[in-house]
Structure 1
Amino acid sequence: MTDAKYDVLGIGNAIFDVLVQTDEGFLARHGMTKGGMALIDEARAAAIYKEMGPATEMSGGSGANTIVGLANFGARTAFIGKVKNDQIGSLYTHDIRAAGAAFETRAAEGGPATGCCYILVTPDGERTMNTYLGAAQDLNPADIDDAQIAASRIVYLEGYLWDPKNAKEAFVKAAHIAHSAGRQVALTLSDSFCVDRYRDEFLDLMRKRTVDLVFANETELHSLYQTSDFEGALKQFRTDAKLGVVTRSEKGCVVAGNDGITAVPAFPIERLVDTTGAGDLFAAGFLFGLVRNAGYEAAGRLGALAAAEVIQHIGARPQVSLKELAGQNGLPV
């Protein structure tokens, strides 16, 4: 296996985030399921945006947030995702490159606008997402650069990619190229509603070893196995996944491998502001620990550190140097 040009390459929906702090009433009036992610069309996107209060706007998307977090730690990163050649697409491209990630996916000239996610944050810090995929859903196998995939130690895929058919095919193509080159493939389950839609297919990806590492939160794990029994679900997860990581909010995380379970506590925080990006940044820290060969416990602590940073402010991208923060807390960088 040749040396890798990139530590981690992410493939995901290139989505521009529009965040606003609101109340439960707004969610109820618009028929939103609190804490979930709903796919919406352009008309619904326009209606929600019209009624939202003052917003914070920034580049987002689950996989991209993870890649930006990794770059912030000092990892060599790349991202594959589809935007349109429009104003928001240009902003998105600038943002992810400025964050230190290689981003070479060709923008679409026609078709739907660059995707946007309207994120409503309630006073308890919970985020409710409404996603207009737009150009992101047109990611297809031709956008997968074989050489770039083969040159990445870990290829990281987001479960949301399973919604558009072409993106699903791109996902599988990338996984096969990565394994042919002796690389690893990681998957985040993304959202419990996403798991509800594709439970059998996700289990198939794990059992056939199309993916080597799977990230899930507690809700996603319960959805995957349709049980409220955490220990039972975790036992099955250990059987199905080569390596599994389950985040448990303030309870920290558990890393489930063939050699047993490693529990890692959460990092303390002063105030929960916005949970947007918590799982994405946890994955960034954990993957950074893996590429630094730091071991599962240190990787879990790096993930917990990054998640703690991002939930104490609005938005899913770090506002400080995670590399410096890790160093200050005695963690490997």
Structure 2
Amino acid sequence: MSYDVFGVGNALVDVQAKIDESTLNRLDFQKGVMTLVDDEVQQEVLTAIAGIDVSRCAGGSAANTIMGIVGFGGTASYACKVASDEIGQFFLQDMGKQGITVEVPTTEGQSGTCVILITPDAERTMLTSLGVSITLTPEDIQESAIRQSKFVYVEGYLFTQEPTRSAALKAIELAKKHDVKVAFTVSDPFLIQYHKDEFLSLIEGPVDLVFCNLDEARALTGKHDAVDCAHELHNHAENVALTLGGDGSVLMHEGAVIPIEGVEVSPVDTTGAGDMYAAGILYGITNGLTWKQSGRLASHAAARVVGQLGARLAQPFTEAEIQELIGD
């Protein structure tokens, strides 16, 4: 089977809960960012929100993007690591229901979770316990699946530790070996203070498409203006997708600046907006859409995610909607 995209990333089960500001203050985590926690702290958080209605689904940054691609009608495979526990089985079943292939064997231990605390202002505070997802190794990367893919998509979170860093680099190496394009998402501004040189090396080297938001682009380039940042990144990467929140995004392709307008939406939950944006771009460019058309689809998809609870589209786009969005 051939794939539009082969993704590599963490395997997390998202547990989403709407809470008030006072609850977040009591938990004492920095609002609006992702914080890595150990299993014990994660259990304390789950206890603190006991009694609140929660939703649960397979997640993780790159996994959200892969599910978005399939939701648009694309094809995808995913490399990740889960345990043989109930959470791991839930993850695999949930991905399988979406038609996503995961061929990495399970292991002993605890699967990863991400508790997403959503305050009334739609900000999301993510508490991530990576569990066995940090044990993904280069041996878990399937060369045959990469060879049959148009793009390999790698999340920046993998570079926070070994062996996931080596697994990510292995996927990139195999992609280059088989003339498969490489897309890379910076994932989070906090990563740049620790991995800036390595990320720049990737962008200047094997990466064909880099995804980042404005804060990440500024940290990487030292520039302030969005278009200046995009140009600087485009000096090294063949393609750039720079998101600007409600102001839309900027794409760079073949030296041209392609502005993409934002889509007005009443925010409910910003979880996964960037992941779904990446899904729209990757689906589009692997299925015959122009970069402008792909950007439109990505922008509308990200807005739809922001207007609902959760990172997966509650109301998927129909084929007719996609055709209407991409029309000139």
Q: TM-score, normalised by structure 2?
A: 0.94
**Structure 1 counterpart of 2:214, one-letter code:** E
Counterpart contact for 1:137–1:167, Cα < 8 Å:
yes
Aligned match of 1:134? 131
* In structure 2, distance between residues paired with 1:113 and 1:325: 42
Q: Secondary structure at the match of 2:311?
A: coil
Q: Structure 1, unaligned stretches of length 5 or more?
A: none
* In structure 2, distance between residues paired with 1:59 and 1:325: 27
Q: Secondary structure at the match of 1:236?
A: helix
Q: Secondary structure at the match of 1:59?
A: strand
Residue 117 of structure 1 is aligned with which of 105, 114, 117?
114
Aligned match of 1:173? 170
Counterpart contact for 1:302–1:326, Cα < 8 Å:
no
Aligned match of 1:14? 11
Aligned match of 1:183? 180
Residues 187-230 of structure 1: per-residue CA shift (max 9 Å, x gap): 1111111222211110111112x211010011221222345443
The 5-angstrom pairing of residues 42-191 of structure 1 reads 42-52=39-49, 53-108=52-107, 110=108, 112-191=109-188
* In structure 1, distance between residues paired with 2:196 and 2:28: 25
The answer to whether 1:262 aligns with 2:258 is: yes
Q: CA deviation at 1:315?
A: 0.8
Q: 1:228 to 1:44 in 2, by over 3 A?
A: farther
Q: CA deviation at 1:231?
A: 4.2
* In structure 2, distance between residues paired with 1:142 and 1:106: 11
Q: Secondary structure at the match of 1:154?
A: strand
Q: CA deviation at 1:82?
A: 0.5
**Structure 2 counterpart of 1:279, one-letter code:** G
Where do 4+ consecutive residues of structure 1 move more than 6 Å? none
Residues 49-97 of structure 1: per-residue CA shift (max 9 Å, x gap): 1112332221111111111111011101111111000101001000001
* In structure 2, distance between residues paired with 1:101 and 1:64: 10
Aligned match of 1:240? 236
**Structure 1 counterpart of 2:101, one-letter code:** A
Q: Structure 2, unaligned stretches of length 5 or more?
A: none
* In structure 1, distance between residues paired with 2:103 and 2:318: 25
Aligned match of 1:295? 290
Q: CA deviation at 1:257?
A: 3.1
Q: TM-score, normalised by structure 1?
A: 0.93
Counterpart contact for 1:74–1:323, Cα < 8 Å:
no
Aligned match of 1:37? 34
* Higher alpha-carbon deviation: 280-289 or 21-30: 21-30
Q: 1:173 to 1:263 in 2, by over 3 A?
A: same
Aligned match of 1:311? 306
Matched length: 325
Q: CA deviation at 1:258?
A: 3.9
Q: 1:225 to 1:28 in 2, by over 3 A?
A: farther
Aligned match of 2:196? 199
* In structure 1, distance between residues paired with 2:222 and 2:125: 22
Residues 120-145 of structure 1: per-residue CA shift (max 9 Å, x gap): 11112111111100010000011001
* In structure 1, distance between residues paired with 2:46 and 2:222: 34
Q: 1:211 to 1:51 in 2, by over 3 A?
A: same
Counterpart contact for 2:297–2:325, Cα < 8 Å:
no
Q: CA deviation at 1:240?
A: 2.8
Q: Secondary structure at the match of 2:326?
A: coil
**Structure 2 counterpart of 1:215, one-letter code:** F
**Structure 2 counterpart of 1:176, one-letter code:** E
Q: 1:43 to 1:330 in 2, by over 3 A?
A: closer
Q: CA deviation at 1:238?
A: 2.0
CA RMSD of aligned residues (A): 1.6
**Structure 2 counterpart of 1:183, one-letter code:** V
Q: Secondary structure at the match of 1:83?
A: coil
> What fraction of aligned residue pairs are identical, expressed as a percent?
35
Aligned match of 2:25? 28
